[in-house]
């Protein structure tokens, strides 16, 4: 685990409890900048909770208790002076089920921009187009920008949600099972999109699909029962992991 | 190049990985072709320095094999290649194993240049050189066929091996006659015989390489089949 990189996020001794249940135990992990890091592990291992701790989404649930620190560019996001709304602008998230707003394609992307105070139509047009291009969706929707987003296919909706997330220029993009509700071809399109996006953003993906982690990520973290078992370059993790538990999991011997 | 559809994956990274591993096979093949040519030059000109260089460079050939091997392992672990992608990776793995052995044979051949021969013996080396050029052309052609994944060209190489075998037999007879006439020359001539043997083996391995091309393009396993079956499968 002697990987050399600049850490965008630095998790230090992070533990998380939901009521009496311990979800994460003393996690220490550095997330490299401008790379894709995948979290893998069996259901309930805490990978989604760890992801959500990066933009303080766990606090939306009742009775949660977080200890330890998560540093974003060296600053603890759990510090009392941190504004959560600003944090969530910097650290965007995309969920498993595409959740476009029931408005037009255009409005879905423009929404966050308007919240940021951008009102000029021309500027909005440009930013919407740029976000849709980055999300590799522009060519498919350019002629139907004012149709309802709900009419898009699942794969298109998911790319729209990604466009919405990147329109407000986040630094980190969290993806929680972004392709598990999609068909294989749409899945590959999302993966290719992630590969393009990592030039500008730091991406963290939670996936149940180990092959997806292998295909798409530069680094992989394997979690089990709330603990980080192993973190390494994906090339290493999928050809020669150091931990027996990782080997067993990725070769389908347990979990 | 893209009649093979190798660069048509949705994942551009996968395309790049495949492109890279193919380029590396070509680079390894190019190096070995150069090695064989240099080994023959070294013998023709009694150039022991060049021969030493060939022996040294074989380490580079080995490094290529290890590197390409690792690249293929990663592609299998991370991409789960299927159908033609899987055949390509399998064909590459087999190809580099044969190329590495061709490298070893070439090193052995270069060692002949380290001996000194009298003028009668020099005449025998001319025939070795002819055999070497013939095999070198086969190697060149099969690498070219690999680059284009050209089944017809692979078939041509495959047939060429018979001629190499006959040429090898004729050299063997000639060398044996010489040894019978001059028993003191036996140790030296044995080395020449061994390198003729090495060249003949390189021909066999070129034949293997052409079979991997047919396997990749046609999806048919043509190893160990008769010449007629092979031709039929390759053209089906």
- Whether residue B5 is contained in a domain is answered as no
**Nearest 10 degrees: Cα torsion A80, A83, A89, A94:** 50
B contact set with A (CB within 8 A): 9-14, 73-74, 77-80
| Mean model confidence pLDDT for chain B | 94
Q: Are B212 and B91 in contact (CB under 8 A)?
A: yes
- Whether residue B1 is contained in a domain is answered as no
Does the pLDDT at position B184 exceed 80?
yes
Q: CB distance B10–A189 less than 8 Å? A: yes
Does the pLDDT at position A182 exceed 90?
no
Does the pLDDT at position B2 exceed 60?
no
Tens digit of each residue's pLDDT (9 = 90 or more) over B165-180: 999 999 999 999 999 9
Tens digit of each residue's pLDDT (9 = 90 or more) over B28-75: 999 999 999 999 999 999 999 999 999 999 999 999 999 999 999 999
Q: CB distance B11–A191 less than 8 Å? A: yes
- Whether residue B46 is contained in a domain is answered as yes
pLDDT band per the 50, 70, 90 thresholds, residue B137: very high
Does the pLDDT at position A3 exceed 70?
no
Q: What is the pLDDT of residue B170?
A: 96
Q: What is the pLDDT of residue B157?
A: 97
- Whether residue B85 is contained in a domain is answered as yes
What domains can be seen in chain A, in order of their start residue? 7-250 (3.40.50.300)
Half-sphere exposure of A179 (CA within 13 A, CB side): 21
Instruction: Compute CA distances A112 → A119, A127, A168, B100, B139, whole Å.
Output: 11, 11, 6, 58, 62
ipTM confidence score = 0.70
- Whether residue B30 is contained in a domain is answered as yes
Higher-pLDDT residue of B8, B75 = B75
| Torsion B122-B124-B126-B131 (CA) sign | negative
Q: What is the pLDDT of residue B171?
A: 96
Our count of domains for chain B comes to: 1
Q: What share of chain A is helix, strand, coil (3-state, %, to 5)?
A: 40, 25, 35
Q: CB distance B79–A215 less than 8 Å? A: yes
Domain with B222, as residue range(s), is: 10-235
Nearest-Å Rg of the Cα atoms of chain B is 19
Least CA distance to A238: which residue of chain B? B77
Higher-pLDDT residue of B157, A180 = B157
Q: Phi and psi at residue A102, in whole multiples of 5°?
A: -75, 55
Mean pLDDT value across residues A221-245: 94
Instruction: List the structure tokens of A252.
Output: 């389908």
List the single residue in B9, B11, B73 with the smallest CB-CB distance to A239.
Answer: B73
Least confident residue range of A121-135, A208-222, A240-254, B10-24: A240-254
- Whether residue B63 is contained in a domain is answered as yes
Does the pLDDT at position B116 exceed 90?
no
Q: What is the pLDDT of residue B3?
A: 59
User: CATH number for the domain including B67?
Assistant: 1.20.58.220
Mean pLDDT value across residues B184-201: 94
Residue A97 sits at the vertex; the CA angle it makes with A94 and A103, to the nearest 5 degrees, is: 85
Mean pLDDT value across residues A74-79: 95
B97 to chain A nearest CA, in Å?
20
Q: At what angle do helices B119-148 and B83-110 cross, to 10 degrees?
A: 170
Q: What is the pLDDT of residue B1?
A: 45
| Mean model confidence pLDDT for chain A | 93
């Amino acid at each position: 685990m002697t990987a050399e990189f600049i850490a965008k996020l630095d998790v230090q001794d992070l533990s998380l409890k939901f009521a009496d249940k311990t979800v994460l135990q003393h996690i220490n992990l550095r997330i490299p900048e401008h790379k894709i890091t995948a979290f893998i592990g069996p259901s309930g291992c805490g990978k989604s909770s760890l992801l959500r701790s990066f933009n303080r989404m766990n606090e939306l649930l009742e009775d949660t208790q977080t200890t330890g620190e998560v540093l974003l560019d060296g600053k603890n996001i759990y510090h009392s002076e941190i504004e959560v709304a600003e944090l969530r602008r910097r650290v965007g998230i995309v969920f498993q089920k595409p959740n476009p707003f029931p408005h037009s394609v255009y409005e879905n992307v423009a929404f966050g921009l308007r919240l940021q105070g951008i009102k000029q139509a021309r500027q909005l047009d440009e930013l919407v187009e740029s976000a849709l291009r980055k999300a590799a969706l522009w060519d498919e929707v350019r002629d139907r920008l004012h149709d309802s987003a709900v009419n898009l296919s699942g794969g298109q909706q998911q790319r729209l949600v990604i466009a919405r997330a990147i329109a407000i220029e986040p630094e980190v993009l969290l993806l929680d099972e972004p392709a598990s509700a999609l068909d294989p071809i749409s899945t590959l399109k999302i993966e290719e999109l992630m590969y393009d996006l990592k030039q500008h953003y730091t991406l963290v993906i939670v996936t149940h699909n180990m092959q997806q982690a292998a295909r798409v990520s530069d680094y992989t973290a394997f979690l089990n029962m709330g603990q980080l078992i192993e973190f390494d370059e994906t090339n290493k993790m999928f050809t020669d992991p150091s931990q027996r538990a990782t080997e067993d999991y990725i070769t389908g011997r347990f979990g | 190049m893209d009649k093979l559809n190798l660069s048509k994956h949705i994942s551009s990274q996968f395309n790049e990985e495949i492109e890279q591993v193919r380029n590396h096979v070509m680079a390894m093949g190019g190096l070995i072709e150069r090695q064989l040519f240099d080994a023959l030059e070294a013998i023709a000109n009694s150039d022991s320095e060049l021969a030493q260089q060939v022996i040294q460079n074989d380490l580079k050939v080995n490094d290529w094999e290890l590197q390409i091997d690792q690249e293929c392992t990663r592609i299998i672990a991370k991409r789960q290649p299927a159908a033609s992608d899987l055949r390509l990776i399998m064909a590459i793995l087999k190809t580099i194993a044969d190329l590495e052995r061709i490298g070893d044979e070439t090193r052995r051949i270069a060692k002949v240049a380290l001996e000194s021969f009298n003028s009668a013996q020099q005449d025998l080396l001319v025939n070795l050189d002819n055999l070497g050029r013939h095999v070198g052309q086969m190697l060149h052609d099969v690498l070219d066929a690999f680059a284009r994944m050209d089944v017809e060209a692979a078939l041509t190489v495959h047939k060429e091996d018979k001629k190499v075998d006959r040429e090898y037999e004729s050299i063997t007879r000639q060398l044996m006659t010489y040894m019978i006439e001059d028993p003191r020359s036996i140790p030296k001539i044995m080395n020449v015989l061994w390198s003729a043997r090495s060249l003949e083996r390189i021909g066999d391995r070129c034949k293997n390489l052409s079979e991997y091309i047919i396997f990749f393009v046609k999806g048919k396993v043509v190893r160990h089949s008769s010449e007629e079956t092979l031709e039929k499968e390759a053209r089906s």
